[in-house]
């Protein structure tokens, strides 16, 4: 508590000290009216004593903080004798928004409360520097998180969603990402369109209390001649600091504009998503709850984020293209139709991998041979993509040609192994080859590193035939032993690739047990029905290609 009578200084000395202090000082009376100021305070507020004396702080400055400071002076400092130290207050002083740090003590003389003495320091620069540092750190953190949170998969829509999720709520209250229709199919956008046809693929919003414009899945047409369409096509980011700028320059439908107004959007940034010279789409960042408009620094930040995300989206686009090409090639090389063969009722399924990068080289075939015999083949090329599919086509064609020439199973495997070895060090493949003679019901089987076939017997029992495993094609020149077994009438031989029984975190034994259970659930079902039930129980979550070939022995024999 400050007392003039206890200071030990003369009034003249106190006055000189008061005026010469570099810190702004103000004396107030008990009604919080200014009774005296020093030169530092007058310079701070830009007003002479005549404009200050007799007035309350709220009459010479504005802002909610000024009203709060006045109430604290009256109720806490003057009335209760409390001290206030280094409290930051924002207020408009001399037409500028400033941050002032003020301290206050009750002022007394011989026990009589005279009012308060207030010291004021302008800390605007320091506060702005602190805010700039925090903002820079937040932006650096955002960019660092983008490195590990955006592009975690090769899925186009998921990558777009990761970009939107990263920005909300720290950078934006609402983010929407739209991509060109062709990009979603792995293609290139038109080179000279009259309008951008984009589909909204991701939306993140800090709240859902208000309606918003387009929903995920909606197709949006943006004229290239519009301000935003032209900016997007040129790869230039766009900034609208307020609603007036948005309404004048952004292409909104009336319903969309009403929805954004209802949402409270007041500032917007539109960032084209461009990678490797291809305009993939655009992302819109909006603020509603956050009252601060976007500025050029924000625009540079989201442009950087958009560029990084666009590279990941383009990678996903290229993988989508490769996926579609590989599937097309794969399907073109697999049998489109298998003619009926005497003594067997055959059904088959091919299921591509669920992951874009996982299209592989699984194949199957049914080959009619001389003497009424039939060859059943299933194989799997290691690796994925177009190369694996192409090698698969070569192996299938060669297998059919050698089988028609009457080559025995061991010789066929040796020829295939040589082909795989010649393809390169990284190439490898597995194969299961079986020749069935309906007249004797004998089946000769050999395998090269492939999964053993399952046999569903007429009584419903399922067993996996104990065949020598052999080595993978392309690995060694060791021969593949041939096993001869008898297949009773009505039994079902199941040939498959490992994608059917391999699951993440699951061993092969579990997968084989699930396959046996699916086959044995209803032995009387047709091979077609069995194919469907097997895939339904074991294939929905497969990460690799699946080839499944089922052959049931019948009473009919070759004529």
User: Does CATH number 3.50.50.60 belong to domain 131-324?
Assistant: no
Look at residue 556 and give its three-state secondary structure. coil
Q: Domain segments of the chain: what residues?
A: 2-122, 131-324, 334-553
d(CA 324, CA 185): 9
| 8 Å CB contact between 116 and 29 | no
Give residues with Cβ within 8 angstroms of 127, minimum separation 6.
88, 99
Spatial CA neighbour of 350 closest among 190, 496, 146: 496
If you average pLDDT over every residue of the chain, what do you get? 85
pLDDT at 360 over 80: no
Tell me the average pLDDT across 107-129.
88
CA end-to-end distance (rounded Å), the chain: 119
Task: Provide the pairing of β-strand 374-381 with 483-486.
Answer: unpaired
Identical fold between 2-122 and 131-324 = yes
pLDDT by residue (tens digit) across 148-186? 899 888 899 999 999 999 999 989 999 999 999 889 888
Average pLDDT in the 51-65 region?
82
Q: Which two tokens stand for residue 150?
A: 């955006």
C-alpha torsion angle, residues 195, 201, 205, 211 (rounded to 10) = 60
At how many degrees (to 10) do helices 386-404 and 409-423 cross?
150
Question: For residues 139 and 239, which has the higher predicted lDDT (pLDDT)?
Answer: 239
Specify the pLDDT at position 448. 92
pLDDT computed for residue 54 by the predictor:
92
Cα-based angle 108, 113, 117 (whole degrees, multiple of 5): 60
Residue 32's pLDDT band, with cuts at 50, 70 and 90, is very high
Residue showing tokens 């075939």: 365
User: Where residue 357 falls among pLDDT bands split at 50, 70, 90?
Assistant: very low
Mean pLDDT, to the nearest integer, of 30-36?
A: 92
User: Among the listed ranges 11-25, 283-297, 477-491, 542-556, which one has the minimum average pLDDT value?
Assistant: 11-25
Q: What CATH class is the domain 2-122?
A: alpha beta
| pLDDT range class, residue 46, cuts 50, 70, 90 | confident
Strands (E), 505-555: 546-553
Q: What's the token pair of residue 363?
A: 């194949």
Tell me the pLDDT band of 558, cut-offs 50, 70 and 90: very low
| Count of CA atoms in the C-beta half-sphere (13 A) of 17 | 7
pLDDT for residue 452: 95
> Given the structure tokens 């062709």, which residue do they identify?
182
Lowest-pLDDT choice from 137-141, 297-301, 508-512: 137-141
Are 45 and 96 contacting, i.e. CB atoms less than 8 angstroms apart?
Answer: no
pLDDT confidence bin for 214, thresholds 50/70/90: confident
**Please, are residues 456 and 410 in contact by the beta-carbon 8 Å criterion?**
no
CATH superfamily of 334-553: PPM-type phosphatase domain (3.60.40.10)
Q: How far apart are CA 256 and CA 552, in angstroms?
A: 60
- Residue 161 CA: distances (Å) to CA of 47, 153, 166, 171, 176: 54, 11, 9, 15, 9
Average pLDDT on 323-346 reads 78
pLDDT tens figures, 378-402: 999 887 667 777 888 889 999 999 9
Taking the CA atoms of residue 121, residue 124, residue 130 and residue 135 in that order, the dihedral angle to the nearest 10 degrees is: 160
Q: What is the mean pLDDT of residues 366-374?
A: 93
Label residue 477 exposed, middle or buried (CB < 10 Å: 0-12, 13-18, 19+).
exposed
Summarize the confidence of residues 534-550 as an average pLDDT: 82
Percentage of the chain beyond pLDDT 70 is 91
Cβ(65)–Cβ(91) below 8 Å: yes
User: Residue 5: what pLDDT?
Assistant: 47
Cβ(352)–Cβ(345) below 8 Å: no
CA angle 409, 410, 413 (to 5 degrees): 85
Q: What is the pLDDT of residues 407-455, one digit of tens each?
A: 999 889 989 998 898 887 667 899 999 999 999 999 999 999 999 999 9
- Using one digit for the tens of pLDDT, what is the confidence trace for 253-280? 778 888 888 888 999 999 999 998 888 9
pTM: 0.62
């Amino acid at each position: 508590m400050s007392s003039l009578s206890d200071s030990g200084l003369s009034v003249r000395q106190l006055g000189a000290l008061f005026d010469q202090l570099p810190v702004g000082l103000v004396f107030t009376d008990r009604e919080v009216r200014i009774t005296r100021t020093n030169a530092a305070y007058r310079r701070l507020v830009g007003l002479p004593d005549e404009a200050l004396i007799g007035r309350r702080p709220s009459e010479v400055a504005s802002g909610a903080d000024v009203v709060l400071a006045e109430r604290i002076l009256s109720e806490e400092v003057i009335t209760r004798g409390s001290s206030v130290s280094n409290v930051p207050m924002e207020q408009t002083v001399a037409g500028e928004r400033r941050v002032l740090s003020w301290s206050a003590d009750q002022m007394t003389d011989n026990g009589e409360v005279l009012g308060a003495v207030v010291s004021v320091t302008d800390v605007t620069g320091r506060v702005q520097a602190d805010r700039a540092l925090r903002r820079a750190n937040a932006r650096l953190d955002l960019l660092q998180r983008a490195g590990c949170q955006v592009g975690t998969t090769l899925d186009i829509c998921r990558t777009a969603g990761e970009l939107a999720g990263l920005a909300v709520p720290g950078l934006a209250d609402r983010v929407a990402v739209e991509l060109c229709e062709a990009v979603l199919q792995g293609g290139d956008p038109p080179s000279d369109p009259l309008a951008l046809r984009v589909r909204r693929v991701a939306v993140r919003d800090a709240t859902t209390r208000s309606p918003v414009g387009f929903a995920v899945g909606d197709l949006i047409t943006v004229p290239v001649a519009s301000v935003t369409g032209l900016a997007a096509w040129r790869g230039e980011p766009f900034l609208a600091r307020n609603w007036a700028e948005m309404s004048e320059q952004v292409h909104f439908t009336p319903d969309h504009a009403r929805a954004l107004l209802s949402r409270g959007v007041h500032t917007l940034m539109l960032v084209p998503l461009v990678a490797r010279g291809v305009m993939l789409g655009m992302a819109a960042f909006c603020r509603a709850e956050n009252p601060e408009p976007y500025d050029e620094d924000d625009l540079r930040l989201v442009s950087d984020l958009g560029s990084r995300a666009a590279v990941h989206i383009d990678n996903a686009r290229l993988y989508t293209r490769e996926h579609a090409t590989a599937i097309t090639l794969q399907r073109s090389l697999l049998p489109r139709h298998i003619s009926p063969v005497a003594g067997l009722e055959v059904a088959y399924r091919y299921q591509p991998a669920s992951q874009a990068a996982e299209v592989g080289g699984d194949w199957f075939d049914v080959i009619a041979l001389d003497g009424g015999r039939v060859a059943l083949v299933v194989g799997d090329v290691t690796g994925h993509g177009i190369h694996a599919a192409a090698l698969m086509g070569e192996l299938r064609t060669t297998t059919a040609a050698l089988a028609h020439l009457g080559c025995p199973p061991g010789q066929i495997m040796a020829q295939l192994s040589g082909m795989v070895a010649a393809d390169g060090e990284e190439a490898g493949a597995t194969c299961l080859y079986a020749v069935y003679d309906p007249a004797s019901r004998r089946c000769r089987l050999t395998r090269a590193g492939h999964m053993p076939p399952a046999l569903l017997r007429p009584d419903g029992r399922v067993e996996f035939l104990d065949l020598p495993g052999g080595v993978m094609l392309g690995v060694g020149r060791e021969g593949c032993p041939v096993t001869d077994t008898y297949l009773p009438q009505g039994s079902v031989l199941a040939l498959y690739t490992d994608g059917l029984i391999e699951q993440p975190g699951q061993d092969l034994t579990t997968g084989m047990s699930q396959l046996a259970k699916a086959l044995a659930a209803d032995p009387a079902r047709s091979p077609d029905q069995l194919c469907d039930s097997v895939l339904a129980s074991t294939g929905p979550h497969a990460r690799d290609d699946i080839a499944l070939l089922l052959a049931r022995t019948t009473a009919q024999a070759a004529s």
